[in-house]
Amino acid sequence: MDEFFNLALELIEASERHERYRDLECINLIASEGLKSPAVKEMLRLTMDLESRYAEGENDLNGHVKKRYYQGQRYITVIENCVTDLMKKLFKCNWADVRLVSGTHANLATFKGLSLATKNNKMVVTPLSCGAHISHDYTGLAGMVLGLVNIDHAYDIEEMNIDPDKSASIIRAAKPGIITFGGSLFLFPHPVKELRSVADEVGAYIVYDAAHVLGLIAGGMFQDPFADGADFITSSTHKTFPGPQGGVILGNIKDERTEEAVKKIQYAIFPLSTSNTHLGRLPAVGIAALEMRVFGGDLARQTVKNAKAAGQYLYENGLKVLGESKGFTESHQIAVDVREFGGGGVVAEKLEEANIILNRNILPYDDQRNRENPSGIRIGFQDVTRRGFREEDIKYLCDLMLQVIKGKRKPSEVREEVIELRKEFSEIRYGFKSVKEAIEYLKRA
């Protein structure tokens, strides 16, 4: 066969195998990945025309469509406005923008907009090894693309959190335009409340990156960043918030200053960083928001319970789970130092052989350049919780992990039990089974 055709065939086969492998045969514990309900998936399939369209243009200060440069927008405008309003209502704020195609894009537009609004290119951020996302960092989007200067928050390793007193001094000395909170290794709520008045003293905006915890916030767990004093929330829409891959920015226009900030962020969205806004995902984002409103509280509570139960159980069975003195976690994830078992890279690969999928992670005391085999692994429980795991099931899963991590059984032996366990949990909970079921629920409500 022609090499080109061979490649196309290989592509189709790999795509089919991937779906079976990751969705049916593995247990997913990657903390940054979400699990969509059947209704969200169905909505994605229903919007294939939308997936081909464009809707470039400006939005107004409600976050609604103001001006578009293409014809044929009759329903696209309604769709975008509805999703924007659903997100505003779910997160109790008066402005939102759903045109961002990812969490990184949400950070790009927010950081750019706020640095324009403040005419200040300094940003206080959590160090990368203490949980910040690469897009906050001088080695990533913030520094290399936007030219922002990073100044690190002080981090307390015992508390696994930003040290509010020391960070207050850093902020006063640095006088940044932006202070960020939130991150990728994110166990405990960040001290937004404690640092709000310091942000006011220096005229900085507070940006809270909720990519990991947006679903927990929707469910009333973790912290409410707006109540604590954040000006803007940036996020992905596909981690604990179980929508399609995409991004969102949320905020409140309270006065001239925040209005100016929103205008600059909107400018950073269009025309600075979007043309196509990937419209096909929008209805599914709205269905995920509906599911969070209806089932989000129960889902968030059980997710955090499962994460805490895993922390406790792995700790009792000899693993160095971080944050012990504080109950291991308040979020969907835990962090474990696995140096004595070969390091994060080695352990993650062994677990992968057993079809348990998670990621290696740098820990706060690691050299942040050590990406290959850092000290830790990060374990997320949002996926298994949505599949119906409760504390006892989590303990059984932990037993399988412990056998592999401690080298008591070969990963290939454990794999069969993992596949069996995965089969037992084949229904996705805390969501609608179909769009029809969602419609019926809405008509009754």
Ligand X SMILES: Cc1ncc(COP(=O)(O)O)c(C=O)c1O
Which residues lie near ligand X (CB under 6 A)?
Answer: 32, 102-104, 107, 133, 135, 182-184, 209, 211-212, 236, 247
Q: How far is the CB of 252 from ligand X (least distance, A)?
A: 21
Which CB, 101 or 272, lies closer to ligand X? 101
Residue 32 or 84 having the CB closest to ligand X = 32
Report, in Å, the least distance between residue 105 CB and ligand X. 7
Start-to-end C-alpha separation, the chain: 58
Residue 142 in tokens = 């913030």
| CB closest to ligand X, residue no | 103
Closest CB to ligand X among 306 and 359? 359
Closer to ligand X by Cβ: residue 103 or 343 = 103
Output DSSP code: residue 201. Answer: H
CA distance 336 to 53: 44
User: SS3 for 138?
Assistant: coil
Cβ at position 102, least distance to ligand X in Å: 3
Nearer to ligand X, 88 or 133 (CB): 133
Question: DSSP letters along 299-356, please?
Answer: HHHHHHHHHHHHHHHHHHTT-EETTGGGTS-SSSEEEEE-GGGT-HHHHHHHHHHTTE
Q: Residue 359 or residue 385: which is nearer to ligand X going by CB?
A: 359
| Residue-wise burial string across 310-342, b where 16 or more C-beta atoms lie within 10 A, e elsewhere | bbbbbbeeebbbbbeeeebbbbbbbbbbbbebe
Instruction: Report in angstroms the alpha-carbon separations of 168 from 26, 144, 151, 152, 153.
Output: 44, 26, 12, 11, 9
Q: Which is nearer to ligand X, 155 or 432 (CB)?
A: 155
Joined together, the tokens standing for residue 331 give: 């979020």
Instruction: Report the candidate in 154, 151, 150 with the shortest Cα–Cα distance to residue 166.
Output: 154
Q: Helix 192-202 and helix 164-174: axis angle, to 10°?
A: 20
Of the two residues 84 and 184, which places its CB atom closer to ligand X in the complex? Answer: 184
CA separation (Å) from 32 to 163, 215, 241, 270, 342?
Answer: 25, 12, 10, 27, 24
- Please, which residue, 181 or 295, has the CB nearer to ligand X? 181
Q: Which residues contact 260 (CB under 8 A, 6 or more apart)?
A: 117
DSSP letter for each residue of 262-292: HHHHHHHHTTTT-S---GGGHHHHHHHHHHH
Smallest distance, ligand X to C-beta of residue 268, A: 16
Least CB distance to ligand X at residue 131 (A):
8
CA 369 to chain centre: 23
Query: In angstroms, what is the minimal distance from the CB of 213 to ligand X?
Result: 9
Specify the residue, 135 or 258, whose C-beta has the smaller distance to ligand X.
135
Q: Are strands 178-182 and 161-162 parallel, antiparallel or unpaired?
A: unpaired
**Half-sphere exposure of 338 toward its Cβ, with a 13 Å CA cutoff?**
32
Using CA atoms, how far apart are residues 221 and 205, in angstroms rounded to an integer? Answer: 24
Give me the least distance between CB of 295 and ligand X, in Å please: 23
Q: Quick one: 244 or 411, whose CB is closer to ligand X? A: 244
Whether 38 contacts 433, CB under 8 Å:
yes
Distance in Å, CB of 434 to ligand X, minimum? 27
Q: How far is the CB of 279 from ligand X (least distance, A)?
A: 17
The CB-of-160 to ligand X minimum distance in angstroms stands at 15
Residues 286 and 439: their CA atoms lie apart, in Å, by: 13
H helical segments located in 21-102? 38-46, 74-90
Shortest reach from residue 133's CB to ligand X, in Å:
3
